[in-house]
Amino acid sequence: MNDTVSVVIVSHSQDIAKGTADMVRQMVGSEVKVAFCGGNPDGGLGTNVPLIIDAINRAWSPKGVAILVDLGGAETNSEMAVEMLRPEQRNLVVVCNAPIVEGAVMAATEAAGGSSLEQVRAVAEELSAS
Amino acid sequence: MSLPPETFKTLVRAAAEKVIASAPELTALDQAIGDGDHGANMKRGFEAVLGKLDTIGAQPLDEAFKTIGKTLVMTVGGASGPLYGSFFMAAGDALSGSKHLPEDLAEVFSRGVGAVSARGRSQAGEKTMLDVLVPVLETLKSEAGRPDLVELVRVTASEAVTRTVPMRATKGRASFLGERSVGHVDPGARSSCVLLQAVCDTLEAQQ
């Protein structure tokens, strides 16, 4: 199997993150690696840098990782997580400015065709252009 | 002249204990215009800092700042983790370079404020913690060397919090509220003020 760009889903809610990942797997299949995380360090609603780093590493692909987030803190914590990766990983991870569910499905669909990280990101971000 | 490790440890303990004690107030403020987790998040982060206090107190100052920053990033669990974390990590970077405390306080603080602004892609005037940090930085620059600098910082921080009340949030969760964010104190501005005032109180008590 050729490597594809992977997708990481970061929500404040573990349930939303899992549900989004389920939708991606059903609609796109399993050729794209998908990891998800949600919740703060106490298990309540929130996001959490160590869990995001874990999810990136679980989904890791040499073609790159596209992260989809829900609200503000998920974006800030995801950007922080990317900066805390090993230097050789950092340039291969992007946080997409796109709605979480639609963005994850579109990103995974594009990734399944073998597209580059930049193409995957561009397709996901078209959703927030209008 | 350099900041003695014992003094630094005392300042960190005081700031952490004060923000932990303020958690209910921060939560109440955040329930009005955010998602109500700021108090719990700050409490969790600064409890983790207290747990590492002996390590922090034994480290060189630059490393100590970085440990505080990284601990907040890894434990707070909200946007305030990377924001406060970036402040302390950038201040630590400044101290790893050519800067020293207390003589370069304004420059070290400025590096921290710059990191918060970059992390949040935000400026003063947008109803955030920067609305306290930036005025305090101005006071540190313009009043450097004054014997009553600690008192001036305390007053600046306190007045700056009050000035966030009529502001309309354009960043963070409160921005979803638009005009409805007007009329409330910004929780991040308040937590910044709590931290700064704990430092001021402790410095004054030692004078």
Question: pLDDT averaged over chain B?
Answer: 94
pLDDT digits (tens, 9 = 90+) for A53-76: 999 999 999 999 999 999 878 999
Contacts A76 to B, Cβ<8 Å = 79, 82-83, 119-120
Residues of B in contact with A84 (CB under 8 A): 73
Per-residue confidence (pLDDT) for residue A128, from 0 to 100: 76
What average pLDDT score do residues B100-104 get?
92
Say what percent of chain A tops pLDDT 70. 98
Structural domain contains residue A32: yes
B142 Cα to chain A: minimum distance (Å)? 32
Q: How many domains does chain B have?
A: 1
Tokens of B80: 């305030």
Range of the domain at A26: 6-128
Domain containing residue B159 = 5-206
Token pair in block for residue B70: 């990284």
Residue B96's CB is within 10 A of a number of other CB atoms, namely 14
Answer whether residue A129 shows pLDDT above 70: no
Task: Check which CATH number belongs to the domain holding A63 and give it.
Answer: 3.40.50.510
**For the ranges A3-17, B145-159, B174-188, which has the lowest average pLDDT?**
B174-188
Task: Compute CA distances B65 → A80, B85, B112, B130, B137, whole Å.
Answer: 17, 9, 11, 19, 18
Per-residue confidence (pLDDT) for residue A1, from 0 to 100: 55
What CATH number is given to the structural domain containing B99?
A: 1.25.40.340
Average pLDDT of the residues in A28-51: 92
| Range in A31-40, B28-37, B83-92 the model is least confident about | B28-37
Show the tokens assigned to A88. 């050789």
Cα–Cα–Cα angle for B79, B82, B83, rounded to 5 degrees:
80
Instruction: Kindly determine whether residue B75 and residue A76, on different chains, have CB atoms separated by under 8 Å.
Output: no
Mean per-residue pLDDT, B198-207: 91
Taking contacts as CB-CB distances below 8 angstroms, the residues of chain A near B78 are 40, 46-47, 73, 77
- The answer as to whether A1 is a domain residue is no
Chain B residue with Cα closest to A82: B82
Instruction: Evaluate whether A29 touches A39 at the Cβ level (below 8 Å).
Output: no
ipTM of the complex: 0.79
Looking at the 3D structure of chain A, how many domains does it have?
1
Task: Report chain A residues touching chain B, CB-CB < 8 A.
Answer: 12, 40-42, 44-50, 71-73, 76-77, 79-80, 84
Place of tokens 């992390």: B119
How do the residues of chain B divide into helix, strand and coil, expressed in percent and rounded to 5? 75, 0, 25
| Rounded-to-integer distance, Cα B174 and Cα B182, Å | 10
Q: What is the pLDDT of residue A72?
A: 79
